């Protein structure tokens, strides 16, 4: 098989949630456990950190991997979804898995999959990631949960630390329609005796569920947002060099290029987790924290208030795609609207709470609507209908993402708009990045 033929098999012959949504969702660990049995259970040979949560999983995982890499360790990182290239999901010290390994893994194990097992795309990818990390001799691997936690394919590991960044309403058809039910699914990653970090504890319903599960399993629980590790923090820089400077108890002062209040929460989760690793003998230095936080892009993190263009107009992209993420974006958008005006290029998946996102756009925002390719995307016309019902008349409705972006950029220049924001969907951001000149 060629690499392209291998991708065709992964994306067309296996159920892929990223592409088709709910019909690809296969909760439970039986199939992935059978796959891992075929691979010799590589997950048992790995030291891991497990990261769950509604939002912030990717940023938290990437910051941890970047810091640990700066210790001189060989660090595996498994995240999802990818934005441009499938291989983004599986990295070691920032380098994507090789095309050759992807091909050889599928060629070797595809004929050995028992008839009737019918694994999902994510289950096979999880087995591939664990096998790759073992075969490449990583010192530690940071594993991001795909969806939920309790029944997620990654939940076959016993990590050094379990992290739940936060819990908000998302994937309600699969995880439950209350914060308590969703928290129950996230709490499923908690293992007996393994320290667990909760990044945001202010929702009592969430804290109650996670605390009860941690106590039941004898897993020490630390509330990162109530920790005194961060002495103070403040936004620094403008436009392309914007970020946050932190002063901390154990790791000195360092800079992070990841802006926004949600990233402050994620940083606290990372630092709390590092302290727990320290207690287990993995001594992470302040120098490694400073370098790793500043260079988080080295592990491949993209689309988190990423600046594509610094001025005239400033262009920001972000993959936030649910109510919880837009609770944070809402305040920043209001500031951008007041400081030079705001235009938003928006596209969303059809299974998201579109109306909730539209309600969080600031009054007077200039809106351009598009959609990404794929069955899960809401069409531009459908999204425009929702916008009109919300009292927002789009400036432009353009189905092609790249054309919509170019037109929005030109409109923003003509209207003197200070900020163009592109977001609403991983798929929209990923397709745009994949089609822009590199």
Q: What is the mean pLDDT of the chain?
A: 92
Average pLDDT over residues 293-316: 92
pLDDT in tens, 342-376: 999 999 998 888 999 999 999 999 999 999 988 77
The beta strand positions in 19-166, using DSSP E, are 48-52, 75-78, 90-92, 95-96, 140-144, 161-164
- pTM, rounded to two decimals: 0.92
Is the pLDDT at 259 greater than 90? The verdict is no
281 phi, psi to nearest 5 deg = 100, -5
- Quickly state the pLDDT bin for 24 (edges 50, 70, 90): very low
- SS3 of the chain: helix, strand, coil, percent, to 5: 45, 15, 35
Is the pLDDT at 223 greater than 70? The verdict is yes
3-state secondary structure of 282: coil
In this predicted structure, what is the pLDDT of residue 20? 43
In this predicted structure, what is the pLDDT of residue 129? 98
List Cα–Cα distances, 436 to 406, 408, 410, 430, in angstroms. Answer: 10, 14, 15, 10
DSSP output for 128-147: HHHHHHHHTT-SEEEEE-SS
Tokens of 281: 């003998």
In this predicted structure, what is the pLDDT of residue 171? 61
> Which one has a higher pLDDT value, 19 or 107?
107
pLDDT in tens, 93-141: 999 999 999 999 999 999 999 888 888 899 999 999 999 999 999 999 9
Measured distance CA(379)–CA(375) in Å, rounded: 9
| Half-sphere exposure for 260 (CA within 13 Å, toward CB) | 22
Measured distance CA(274)–CA(67) in Å, rounded: 9
pLDDT in tens, 156-210: 999 999 999 999 877 666 688 899 999 999 999 999 999 999 999 999 999 999 9
């Amino acid at each position: 098989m060629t690499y392209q033929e291998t991708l065709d098999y992964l994306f067309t012959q296996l159920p892929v949630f990223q592409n088709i949504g709910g019909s690809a969702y296969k909760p439970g660990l039986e199939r992935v456990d059978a796959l891992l049995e075929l691979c010799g259970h590589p997950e048992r040979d790995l030291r891991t950190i497990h990261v769950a949560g509604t939002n912030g999983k990717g940023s938290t995982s990437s910051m941890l991997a970047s810091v640990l890499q700066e210790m001189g360790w060989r660090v595996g990182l498994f995240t999802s979804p990818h934005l441009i290239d499938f291989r983004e999901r599986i990295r070691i010290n920032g380098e994507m898995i090789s095309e050759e390994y992807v091909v050889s893994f599928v060629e070797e194990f595809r004929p050995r999959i028992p008839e009737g097992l019918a694994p999902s795309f994510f289950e096979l990818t999880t087995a591939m990631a664990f096998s790759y990390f073992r075969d490449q001799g990583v010192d530690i691997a940071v594993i991001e949960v795909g969806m939920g936690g309790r029944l997620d394919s990654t939940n076959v590991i016993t990590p050094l630390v379990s992290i739940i960044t936060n819990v908000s309403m998302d994937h309600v058809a699969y995880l439950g329609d209350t914060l308590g039910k969703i928290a129950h699914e996230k709490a499923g990653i908690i293992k007996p005796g393994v320290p667990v970090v909760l990044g945001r504890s202010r929702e009592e319903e969430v804290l109650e569920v996670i605390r009860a599960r941690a106590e039941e399993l004898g897993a020490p629980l630390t509330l990162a947002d109530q920790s005194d590790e961060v002495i103070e923090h403040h936004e620094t820089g403008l436009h392309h060099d914007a970020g946050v400077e932190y002063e901390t108890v154990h790791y000195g002062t360092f800079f992070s290029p990841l802006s926004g209040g949600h990233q402050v929460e994620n940083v606290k989760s990372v630092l709390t987790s590092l302290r727990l690793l320290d207690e287990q003998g993995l001594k992470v230095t302040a120098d490694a924290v400073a370098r790793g936080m500043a260079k988080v892009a080295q592990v491949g993190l993209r689309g988190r208030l990423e600046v594509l263009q610094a001025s005239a107009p400033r262009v920001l992209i972000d993959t936030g795609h649910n109510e919880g993420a837009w609770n944070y974006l809402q305040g920043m958008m209001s500031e951008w609207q007041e400081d030079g005006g705001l235009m938003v290029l928006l596209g969303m998946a059809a299974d998201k709470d579109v109306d909730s996102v539209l309600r969080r756009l600031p009054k007077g925002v200039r809106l351009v609507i598009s959609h990404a390719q794929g069955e899960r995307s809401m069409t531009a016309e459908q999204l425009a209908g929702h916008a009109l019902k919300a009292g927002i008349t789009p400036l432009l409705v353009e189905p092609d993402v790249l054309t919509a972006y170019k037109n929005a950029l030109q409109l923003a220049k003509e209207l003197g708009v200070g900020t163009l924001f592109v977001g609403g969907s991983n798929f929209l951001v990923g397709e745009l990045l994949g089609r822009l000149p590199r």
